[in-house]
Amino acid sequence: MEFKKTQLSNGLNIIGEINKKAKSSAVGYFVKTGARDETMEINGVSHFLEHMLFKGTDKLSAFEVNEAFDRTGAQFNAFTSEEMTVFYAAVLPEYLCEVTDLWSHLMRPSLRDDDFNMEKNVIKEEIAMYQDLPNFDVMDRCRSMHFEGHPCGHSVLGSVESIDKLSAVQMRSYFNNRYAPNNMTLTVVGNFEWDKVTDLAQSLCNKWQKQPVSRETSHFEGSFKKQRIIKANLASEHICLISSGVSAQDPRRFAAHLLATIIGDTCGSRYFWELVDKAIAQCAYMQYAPMDGTGALYSYFQCNKENANTVIEKTNKIFSEISGKGVTEDELTKAKNKILSSLVIKNELPMGRLVDVGFNWIYNSEYLTVEQDMDAIRQVSTEDIKLLIDDIQPAQYTHFSIGPE
């Protein structure tokens, strides 16, 4: 493994981890923009833009873009979160340059009106699809309530109303600022030739204009509000709790990851033994979401409506025990083993590696090998976790439920 980095004069970062033994490579443009960088007036524009980039350039139609990707056999797609828009492809090494070339062109899209109007339909279908996924819906609503008044509470998809009102002019103006080269990182991992990639980026991206770009990154504790809504067509109760967490820059993020695993991994965790093993909840887990300048611990439960109160009581008890006594050595060791092996498995695929390498660089301007990431996990002690619990107080949470009448 060899790490390489460079920066073009306009601020575009290019980073790469070369692994000559890999059978494939993966490439991605990481654009540091997402729902938290929007105003409510244009809510959903980052995600809509992600769709629009596939619609082509002045020289390529949408169909030609799809054709060009498919000719290389690439597995390509994109995703948008509250704070990042990532365009990626996993591909055989012989096609890496062709795919990087294509993505580089697409980063300067034409954003045509007729494509914009047609794609509005698709975006609204995507919003409808997630409305039929209550596990997603409850997390989304809970996040908005938790981060009330903070931009991290903006919905990634936006609403049917905000999408209806959004104009192509507003989108272009947002694009011109947020897709500045100094707000983007080109990441390449796996089996590839570094010089070829940088030459290509140099020739295609050098004319992109640097822009002043900023983001509000203050920490936010959370609103700690509580709400339940009824959806008559549901059969089960869906519950989301959000506690405060540490940021993606915080050295305690490794401890936070372990804490979430101890409390709420899908098997062998405290949630598992108290709720799932006893058949009180059909599903219970906790996930740590590190973000730019802030963070959160998300808990999700699915259970019969009659069990909803018991789930909350048991969860409160778990939080209060953890806050009092911390976690045991034994629990910590198990959680470490799980995370370590998942790091090994995930990073054996260039596609899995791409996201870790890219995010590490964007949040912390540092490169960590898989081994360094694993060491950081190994070094966390029960004392570190106790200090983290004392600081973030997971027992305080925002609570949102959706369920039947």
Partner 1 sequence: MTVKFDKYILNNGMVIVGEPMESVRSAAFGFSIPAGASVLDEGCCGAANIIEDWIFRGAGERDSRQLSDELDGLGLHRSSSIGSSHLSLGAALESTNLEKAVGLYADIILKPKLEDDQFELAKELSIQSITALDDDPRQKVMLILRELFYPQPLGISNIGHMEDIEKLGADKVRDILKNNFNPSGTIFSVAGKYDFDNVVKQLESVFETNEKLAKKEIATKPAVNKYTHLHNEGAQVHIGLMTKTVPPTDKDIYNARAALAVLSGGMSARLFTEVREKRGLCYAIGARYHGLKDTAGIMCYAGTTPEKAQQTLDTIITEFNRLKEGITEEEIQRAKVGLKSSLILSSESTSSRAGSIASDHYLLGRIRSLDEIKEKIEEVSVKSIQNFLEKNIFEDFTIVTIGPKEVKI
Interaction residues for partner 1, span 199-238 (CB under 8 A) = 232-236, 238
Beta partners for residue 239, in sequence order: 301, 401
Considering only residues 246 to 275 of the shown chain, the ones binding partner 1 according to CB under 8 A are 267-268, 272-273
| Structure token pair of residue 188 | 């390449």
| Structure token pair of residue 401 | 């439920």
Q: Could you tell me the smallest distance in angstroms from the CB atom of residue 7 to partner 1?
A: 30
Per DSSP, which regions of 85-136 are E strands? Answer: 85-91
Q: Is 49 in the site for partner 1 (CB under 8 A)?
A: no
Q: Which of 213, 283, 312, 387 binds partner 1 (CB under 8 A)?
A: 283
Q: Is 62 in the site for partner 1 (CB under 8 A)?
A: yes
Using the minimum distance from each CB to partner 1, give the nearer residue, 160 or 387.
160
Q: Is 113 in the site for partner 1 (CB under 8 A)?
A: no
| Structure token pair of residue 191 | 């089996």
Closest-CA residue to 315 (of 277, 264, 268, 267): 264
Q: Could you tell me the smallest distance in angstroms from the CB atom of residue 292 to partner 1?
A: 28
150 DSSP 8-state letter: S
Piece of 114-122, 139-147, 293-301, 376-384 that binds partner 1 (CB under 8 A): 114-122
Q: Which of 7, 121, 203, 365 binds partner 1 (CB under 8 A)?
A: 121
Using the minimum distance from each CB to partner 1, give the nearer residue, 249 or 304.
304
Using the minimum distance from each CB to partner 1, give the nearer residue, 238 or 252.
238
Q: Is 73 in the site for partner 1 (CB under 8 A)?
A: yes
CB atoms near residue 281 (< 10 Å): 27
Q: Could you tell me the smallest distance in angstroms from the CB atom of residue 259 to partner 1?
A: 16
Q: Is 5 in the site for partner 1 (CB under 8 A)?
A: no
Piece of 58-66, 181-189, 207-215, 292-300 that binds partner 1 (CB under 8 A): 58-66
Q: How far apart are CA 207 and CA 201, in angstroms?
A: 10
Q: How far apart are CA 145 and CA 228, in angstroms?
A: 12
- Do residues 322 and 394 make contact, with C-beta atoms less than 8 angstroms apart? yes
Q: Could you tell me the smallest distance in angstroms from the CB atom of residue 79 to partner 1?
A: 14
Q: Is 17 in the site for partner 1 (CB under 8 A)?
A: no
Q: Is 302 in the site for partner 1 (CB under 8 A)?
A: yes
Considering only residues 340 to 399 of the shown chain, the ones binding partner 1 according to CB under 8 A are 340-342, 344-345, 348-351
Q: Could you tell me the smallest distance in angstroms from the CB atom of residue 26 to partner 1?
A: 9
End-to-end distance of the chain based on CA atoms, in angstroms?
56
Closest-CA residue to 335 (of 365, 377, 298): 377
Helix, strand, coil percent content, the chain, rounded in steps of 5: 50, 20, 30
Q: How far apart are CA 331 and CA 46, in angstroms?
A: 40
Q: Is 334 in the site for partner 1 (CB under 8 A)?
A: yes
Piece of 86-94, 194-202, 308-316, 379-387 that binds partner 1 (CB under 8 A): 86-94
Q: Which of 40, 41, 113, 128 binds partner 1 (CB under 8 A)?
A: 128
400 DSSP 8-state letter: E
Considering only residues 135 to 164 of the shown chain, the ones binding partner 1 according to CB under 8 A are 135
Q: Could you tell me the smallest distance in angstroms from the CB atom of residue 336 to partner 1?
A: 8
| Structure token pair of residue 145 | 């309530």
The helix or strand, by DSSP H or E, that contains position 263, with its residue range, turns out to be helix 253-264
Q: Could you tell me the smallest distance in angstroms from the CB atom of residue 349 to partner 1?
A: 5
Q: How far apart are CA 71 and CA 4, in angstroms?
A: 29
Q: How far apart are CA 214 and CA 183, in angstroms?
A: 9
Q: How far apart are CA 44 and CA 165, in angstroms?
A: 11
Using the minimum distance from each CB to partner 1, give the nearer residue, 229 or 273.
273
Q: Is 399 helix (H, G, I), strand (E, B) or coil?
A: strand
Q: How many residues form the binding site for partner 1 (CB under 8 A)?
A: 71
Q: Which of 8, 45, 74, 96 binds partner 1 (CB under 8 A)?
A: 74
